[in-house]
């Protein structure tokens, strides 16, 4: 046990002390955050104090477009003809003008309203101006038809006009299903990535030991099995640490956003409340959806999902890492050899990914049930089913059976891999085939 720990701590230390580790663990999230922040920054900064003169010849708006007090786009009314407006625009008195011609017909939209700016508008600015004017026009049109905003809102069918329930009397919330779908997809995909990234890391570690010819030196003081386990544990710890750091960074940086961009935070909070900002209807819809998402999130059992995630992450990693180690031990100097040997290991992982995409849609199909029980695919597929909850997505019996099978699968692959590893790690100068590896694993030697 002591030796496994020694090996594991070496594997851990050498990897964590590398510059690339720091770069990928801390640098990458910061880089992504930096992009994110930059994007927000430009979105906020592009439109500020954009002055628009409005010449309302047909007295459509009565001196104001809407009630919104915005510093981004400021509408100011004045009575002038296009020639005068053009001159003032050239002088820089304002950035753009809106000209509503005399005798403008609300219903036909003729003659056309024109908008002229001193230079081409940014996409965001253009959208904001367009939205506000269109909303204002829409309101005027409704008024002309004798319909008030309130009447229109109440006429619209809400999302929850029909009540979906399942046979056991539970509410079957659409947003909840959607969120389950997303959570399952993300969790399954994360495990898929973990299996690949850290599996290949184990394989490369084993190859390094073999290619640098240190394996035999070490094997004379450590049993091959202990060496393999030490490697798997050490790299597993690296993976775990990396994940924890990523999660902490992601959450930590999110809290940083309001500190760095106070106005963004303010806008985010006020945006849905502002009447007429994106149109009252839109706002109402938005806040309703938001509430739905919140409610959906609250209904999802995150303790269960996180618990299962950790279990299937570790179980899947240990099971596949042993196989990757076996392949690494069989490969010689030529990394190309690894490719063909890896294929049989990657197949079930990719296959699991395919089943998972089906299982998030239909967690109780027979394919999903098979995939979530079979240990080579269960780490990925089960996450898709667990996201739908117990017992909606998966029964307790199936969950326990899947976990037990995964543990058995882990013991099985480790046992097989250890036998291949023991022979392979000392074998030089020969290209190994799957047939030979099979012999190493199942023949007594």
Nearer to another protein, 119 or 213 (CB): 213
Q: Which of 220, 303, 336, 366 binds another protein (CB under 8 A)?
A: 220
For position 435 contacting another protein by CB under 8 A, the verdict is no
- Tokens representing 315 are 């179980």
Residues 6+ apart with CB under 8 A from 256: 33
Stretch that binds another protein, among 152-160, 212-220, 278-286, 311-319 (CB under 8 A): 212-220
For position 23 contacting another protein by CB under 8 A, the verdict is no
Q: Which of 19, 119, 430, 435 binds another protein (CB under 8 A)?
A: 430
For position 3 contacting another protein by CB under 8 A, the verdict is yes
3-class DSSP assignment, residue 171: strand
Distance CA 292, CA 284 (A): 12
For position 217 contacting another protein by CB under 8 A, the verdict is yes
Least Cβ distance, residue 223 to another protein (angstroms)? 8
Nearer to another protein, 14 or 148 (CB): 14
Nearer to another protein, 10 or 45 (CB): 10
Residues 6+ apart with CB under 8 A from 206: 228, 231, 324, 325, 328, 329, 421, 425
Task: Please work out the total of residues on this chain that contact another protein, with binding judged by CB under 8 A.
Answer: 23
For position 439 contacting another protein by CB under 8 A, the verdict is yes
Residue appearing with tokens 């030697």 = 445
3-class DSSP assignment, residue 365: coil
For position 429 contacting another protein by CB under 8 A, the verdict is yes
Nearer to another protein, 22 or 248 (CB): 22
Nearer to another protein, 15 or 132 (CB): 15
For position 346 contacting another protein by CB under 8 A, the verdict is no
Distance CA 190, CA 243 (A): 10
What ranges make up the beta strands (E) of 27-177? 50-56, 73-77, 96-100, 114-117
Rounded to the nearest angstrom, the gap between the alpha carbon of residue 78 and the centroid of all alpha carbons in its chain is: 49
For position 216 contacting another protein by CB under 8 A, the verdict is yes
For position 287 contacting another protein by CB under 8 A, the verdict is no
For position 241 contacting another protein by CB under 8 A, the verdict is no
For position 20 contacting another protein by CB under 8 A, the verdict is no
Distance CA 209, CA 218 (A): 9
Stretch that binds another protein, among 155-163, 165-173, 346-354, 421-429 (CB under 8 A): 421-429
Sheet architecture: strand order including 50-56: 73-77, 50-56, 96-100, 114-117
For position 219 contacting another protein by CB under 8 A, the verdict is yes
Q: For residue 402, report the phi and psi dihedrals to the nearest 5 degrees.
A: -65, -40
Q: Which of 391, 426, 431, 434 binds another protein (CB under 8 A)?
A: 426
* Neighbour tally for 23: CB within 10 Å: 11
For position 112 contacting another protein by CB under 8 A, the verdict is no
For position 213 contacting another protein by CB under 8 A, the verdict is yes
For position 237 contacting another protein by CB under 8 A, the verdict is no
Rounded to the nearest angstrom, the gap between the alpha carbon of residue 40 and the centroid of all alpha carbons in its chain is: 18
Contact 360, 387 (CB under 8 A): yes
Least Cβ distance, residue 242 to another protein (angstroms)? 19
Q: For residue 50, report the phi and psi dihedrals to the nearest 5 degrees.
A: -85, 110
Q: Which of 302, 151, 319 is nearest to 229 (CA)?
A: 319
Least Cβ distance, residue 296 to another protein (angstroms)? 48
Cross-strand pairs, 96: 52, 117
Q: For binding to another protein (CB under 8 A), which residues are involved?
A: 3, 6-7, 10, 14, 208-209, 212-214, 216-222, 426, 428-430, 439, 445
């Amino acid at each position: 046990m002591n030796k496994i720990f020694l090996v594991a701590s070496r594997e851990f230390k050498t990897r964590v002390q590398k510059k690339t580790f720091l770069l990928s663990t801390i640098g990458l999230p910061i880089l992504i955050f930096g992009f994110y922040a930059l994007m927000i920054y430009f979105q906020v900064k592009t439109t500020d104090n954009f002055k628009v003169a409005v010449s309302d010849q047909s007295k459509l708006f009565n001196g104001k477009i809407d009630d919104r007090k915005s510093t981004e786009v400021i509408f100011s009314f004045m009575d002038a003809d296009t020639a005068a407006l053009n001159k003032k625009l050239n002088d820089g008195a304002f950035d753009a003008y809106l000209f509503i011609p005399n005798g403008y017909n609300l219903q036909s939209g003729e003659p056309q309203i024109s908008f002229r700016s001193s230079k081409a508008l940014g996409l965001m600015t253009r959208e904001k101006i367009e939205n506000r004017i269109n909303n204002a026009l829409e309101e005027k049109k409704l008024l002309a038809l004798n319909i008030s905003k309130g009447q229109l809102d109440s006429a619209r069918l809400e999302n929850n006009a029909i009540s979906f329930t399942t046979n056991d009397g539970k509410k079957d919330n659409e947003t909840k299903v959607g969120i389950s779908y997303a959570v399952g997809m993300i969790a399954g995909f994360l495990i898929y990535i973990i299996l690949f990234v850290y599996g290949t890391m184990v394989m490369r570690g084993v190859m390094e030991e073999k290619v640098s010819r240190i394996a035999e030196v070490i094997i004379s003081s450590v049993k091959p099995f202990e060496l393999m386990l030490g490697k798997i544990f050490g790299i597993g710890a690296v993976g775990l640490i990396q994940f924890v750091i990523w999660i902490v960074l992601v959450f930590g940086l999110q809290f940083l956003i309001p500190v760095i961009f106070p106005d963004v935070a303010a806008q985010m909070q006020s945006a849905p409340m502002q009447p007429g900002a994106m149109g009252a209807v839109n706002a109402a819809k938005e806040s309703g959806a938001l509430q739905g998402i919140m409610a959906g999130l609250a209904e999802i059992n995150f303790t269960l999902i996180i618990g299962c995630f950790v279990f299937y992450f570790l179980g899947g990693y240990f099971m596949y890492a042993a196989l990757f180690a076996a392949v690494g031990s069989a490969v010689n100097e030529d990394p190309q050899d690894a490719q063909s040997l890896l294929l049989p290991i990657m197949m079930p992982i990719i296959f699991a990914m395919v089943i998972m995409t089906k299982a998030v849609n239909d967690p109780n199909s027979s394919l999903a049930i098979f995939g979530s029980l079979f240990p080579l695919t269960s780490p990925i597929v089960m996450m898709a089913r667990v996201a739908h909850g117990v017992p909606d997505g998966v029964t307790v019996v199936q969950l326990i059976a899947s976990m037990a099978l995964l543990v058995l699968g882990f013991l099985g692959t480790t046992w097989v891999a250890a036998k291949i590893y023991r022979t392979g790690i000392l074998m030089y100068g020969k290209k190994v085939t799957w047939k030979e590896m099979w012999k190493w694993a199942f023949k007594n030697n």
